[in-house]
Amino acid sequence: MRLLFSVVCLVLPSTLGFNAFSPVINHRSLIRKGDGGNFKPLQVGTVEPETIELKQNPHPLEEGVLKAFDRFASATKLALEDKRHIDELVTCFSYASRGRMLPDGGVVMGQGAVKRFLTDLLVTDHPNGSRRAEFSAPTIESDSIVTSEDVAVVKSSLQLRSAGETRHLDLELCISSGGAEGASGFEITSIAVAGADVGATSLRADARKNGPKWETHDGRVRQQIWQHTGLFDSGNRFIVDKLEISTGRIIAVIDANVWKLHGETLQTWADSLDLKLDTVIAPGNEDHKTMDNCLFMLDELKRLDPLRRSEPVLAIGGGVLTDVAGFACALWRRGVPWARVPTTLLGMVDASVGIKVAVNYHRKNGVGHFFSPTHTFVDAYFLGTLKRADVISGCGEIMKAALVHDRTLFDLMDEHGVRLVDKNFENDEVADEIIKRSVDTMLECIGVDLWEEALLRPMDFGHSFSRTLETDSTFYLRHGEAVAIDACMSTLIAEVKGYVTRAEADRVLDVYYRLGLPCMIKGVTADTFKRAARDIVVHRDGLLRAPLPRGIGSCVYEDVFTDGEIEAAFARLEGFMLKHPETCWDRSKSFSPVDTEDN
């Protein structure tokens, strides 16, 4: 009997939402299983329907391939309705499946990578139910159906429609039986996607207006960094929408001092959105960057029991709090999603970009992990209640970035830094520019290597000696203070080595002095810096790899600090401190000036 192939459509599930086209087989090619991952060129354009002769009892491969495509299309629609169902879509693919964006995208391999590929393609930045899918009829390219181990190439077009946006995608799927009996064993072994945005110019303009200020995305993790004012104003849904909170509850790990100052504001915000605010209140000073604090947070996560993916934990506090909270999230259930709101100047300009989380254990950041937040929200609202010493500590990280990467940033701090410290970097265009340039520097220097696979890193400036200094002072130094002392000593070593002039070194010390940054610790000797240089070599895989300023605004690396060079730089710094004794840090200047066993 001669039948149009459209007869096959009548026996398939009707859930696809196809256009009024029949499935089509083009008698051109069949890919053997061993070649199933080879991507053929795919032209952008709608698949044209056609009819062919088909036997009344089609080969099982034909039925299986079409049912596998039907399952893929149905799962796509389900994922658009609720992003949590992206996992059902991923089950349409083999464990070793591959994905590629044509014409020039790289190949991703494995179900986990394919899940990230499909998430970015279909649902990222789109609320549940805001998009709908329309598929054209699938076209099977096949010369012959020989065995159940063959792989068929299926083409279809997909339109993703939402308010004011239509995206057209052309899909090429390789579908295999995997050697299984019957149609149920068919799975997708690879997907290639070519697409063009409709109204791309206006969409790009809208993205510039409404998208994240910065973004880190290296193929493994994606973090969006937003600069937004009034995050916790009554009725503001910005965080809720970006985190896609749909359970009516938000779990927040909050610095105890932030809660004391802003707890009422945070609770009023949650109430205005009919959200239940479940809080974990934890200390956030450097001496609480501990395993005990992390274990406390883990116990609290057990108590609150966040849903595995749908209730990301929001960490609100300075760099210490967000580091410890991020580490706890990395450990709980082998990783639950989290986001952060840095509330200190240092947290905004330094900790807001990287993906490292850790606690101090035997050494600075002795136990930790790489675990990226999904979002970072920067809101200058919190700067107004910072203590002056914490503002100055943030300047230590800004100056680090300026000295080895951005001379303009250094000039801005030289000219405006003292004034901005006095006003807590609030409500000032120059302050906003300094924060922006600091984050830009971090992104340029570490955004391309979030996992520290390369160990020559300009942002390690200020960290050659500071780890030992912080440990020796039992972590009563603020981190930015330790970085500042390191930067001063390193700059003077650079002077000894001939990388900066005496005039440049004097200018650096003068800016640090005027900002109120410490340049040395009371009681420390040159031997402390010699020991610190030896200690950091282990962390840097057996070489010193010390970043030093070359002039102001660029960087050079050194593998050797001789004892003579350290002694000469230290003697120079001692002379500066004799003229400016206020630049010498002692315990009275700590956030915890009185020794106690439990602080």
My answer on whether 290 and 311 are in the same domain is yes
CA-nearest of 398, 286, 409 to 348 is 398
Tally of domains within the chain: 3
Q: Is residue 475 part of a domain?
A: yes
246: in domain? yes
pTM: 0.73
Asked whether residue 395 is assigned to any structural domain, the reply reads: no
We report the CATH number of the domain holding residue 553 as 1.20.1090.10
244 and 300 both lie in a single domain: yes
- In terms of domains, do 520 and 477 share one? yes
Q: Which domain holds residue 135?
A: 3-205
* Domain final position from 386, 417, 439: 386
- 3-class state of residue 415 by DSSP: helix
Closest CA relative to residue 28, chosen from 191, 118, 152: 152
Q: How far apart are CA 546 and CA 456, in angstroms?
A: 8
Q: Domain for residue 72, yes or no?
A: yes
DSSP E strands, 498-567: 520-521, 546-549, 555-558
Residue 578 shares a structural domain with residue 529: yes
CATH number at residue 318: 3.40.50.1970
Assigned domain for 398 exists: no
3-state secondary structure labels for all residues of 85-142: HHHHHHCCEEEEEEEEECCCCCEEECHHHHHHHHHHHHCCCCCCCCCEEEECCCEEEC
331 and 367, same domain (yes or no): yes
Contact 325, 315 (CB under 8 A): yes
**Are both 374 and 260 inside the same structural domain?**
yes
Asked which of 386, 412, 433 is the last residue of a domain, the reply is: 386
Cis peptide before 103 (omega within 30 of 0): yes
Q: What would the 3-class secondary structure string for 461-495 be?
A: CCCCCHHHHHHHCCCCCCHHHHHHHHHHHHHHHHH
CA 587 to chain centre: 36
User: Are 243 and 154 in a shared domain?
Assistant: no
Positions marked active-site: 356
State whether 86 and 138 are in the same domain.
yes
Per-residue confidence (pLDDT) for residue 145, from 0 to 100: 44
Instruction: Looking at the structure, tell me whether residues 61 and 190 fall in a common domain.
Output: yes
Where is the domain boundary, 148, 176, 205?
A: 205
Same domain, 328 and 442: no
Q: Which residues, 6+ apart, have CB-to-CB distance to 569 below 8 Å?
A: 489, 492, 493, 495, 496
Q: In this structure, are strands 249-255 and 313-317 parallel, antiparallel, or unpaired?
A: parallel
Cβ–Cβ under 8 Å, residues 283 and 311: no
Return per-residue pLDDT of the chain as tens, 599 residues: 333 233 233 333 333 333 333 444 443 333 333 333 333 333 333 333 333 334 455 566 788 888 899 999 999 999 999 887 888 898 899 878 899 888 777 788 887 788 888 988 898 777 888 899 999 989 887 553 444 456 788 999 999 998 878 889 999 999 887 644 444 578 899 999 997 443 332 333 333 455 677 887 766 788 999 988 899 999 999 999 999 998 999 999 999 999 999 999 999 999 999 999 999 999 999 899 999 999 999 999 999 999 988 899 999 999 999 999 999 999 999 999 999 999 999 999 987 888 999 999 998 899 999 999 999 999 999 999 999 999 999 999 999 999 999 999 999 999 999 999 999 999 999 999 999 999 999 988 887 788 888 788 899 999 999 999 988 777 789 999 999 999 999 999 999 999 999 999 999 999 999 999 999 999 999 999 999 999 999 889 899 999 999 999 999 999 999 999 999 999 999 999 999 999 999 988 888 775 543 33
Residue 447's pLDDT is: 79
Closest CA to 421 of 523, 513, 340: 513
Q: Would you state the pLDDT for residue 202? A: 31
- Are 380 and 319 members of one domain? yes
Residue 471 lies in a domain: yes
In CATH, what number is assigned to the domain containing residue 199? 3.10.450.50
Q: Is 244 left (phi over 0), alpha (psi -120 to 50) or beta?
A: left
Q: How many CA atoms lie within 13 A of 21 on its CB side?
A: 19
pLDDT of 150: 65
Whether 488 is covered by a domain: the verdict is: yes
Here the tokens at position 318 are 């300075």
444-465 pLDDT, tens digit each:
888 778 888 878 889 999 999 9
Which candidate, 177, 160, 178, places its Cα nearest to that of 169?
160
β-pairing, 555-558 vs 546-549, is antiparallel
- Has residue 397 been placed in a domain? no
Q: What are phi and psi of 162, to 5 degrees?
A: -145, 175
